[in-house]
Amino acid sequence: MAITKPQWTGIENTLKSGAPVRFLYQGHEIEVMKITVSETKMAYVVAEGGHALVGFQKKDDKAYNPLSEVFLRKKLINPHARIARSIAKERGGKAYLKRKENRYMTEKTLEVTDTFFPTARTVVTHFRKIKGLELSANSIPFLNSVAGGHDA
């Protein structure tokens, strides 16, 4: 059964509160939970069978999980960003970077798979696009309750 729009809102609010959410995908139970990445930074991680899906492993690695292709987000990064920032600080640096032959230093060209999601909204946005994803039974106990109206 497909996940409805009010359920997605409930999933986002549950993730923001810190409670884990479980999904079913092709017989696998996928769990999304909020974790501490550093002393002051929180992020959301996707786990399958109690083990986090990681994006840095390639298809030929022994510990590679094919579900990471589906559930982890891909983003473009600029491999020359650090050099471009230092050049931009120098006199005439911004003009140098705008030249046609140096434009490659400001473009995002490298695609990486990110292990962490920064916000609950990015989790929901990415997971909405996945076909065949279902909410696990008893994943969110208060999601089916009625908040008000005629049925209250």
Identify whether residues 108 and 121 lie together within a single domain: no
How many domains does the structure of the chain reveal?
2
pTM of the model: 0.74
Identify whether residues 100 and 129 lie together within a single domain: no
pLDDT tens readout for residues 100-148? 999 898 888 888 888 889 999 999 999 898 888 888 876 665 554 445 5
In this structure, is residue 151 part of a structural domain? no
In this structure, is residue 17 part of a structural domain? yes
Confidence category of residue 5, pLDDT binned at 50, 70, 90: confident
Identify whether residues 59 and 101 lie together within a single domain: no
Span between the terminal Cα atoms of the chain, in Å = 25
Identify whether residues 96 and 121 lie together within a single domain: no
pLDDT tens readout for residues 138-149? 666 555 444 555
Identify whether residues 108 and 127 lie together within a single domain: no
Contact 44, 123 (CB under 8 A): yes
Using CB atoms within 10 Å of the CB of residue 5, give its burial: 0 to 12 exposed, 13 to 18 middle, 19+ buried.
exposed
Identify whether residues 4 and 21 lie together within a single domain: yes
* Full domain range(s) for residue 89: 73-114
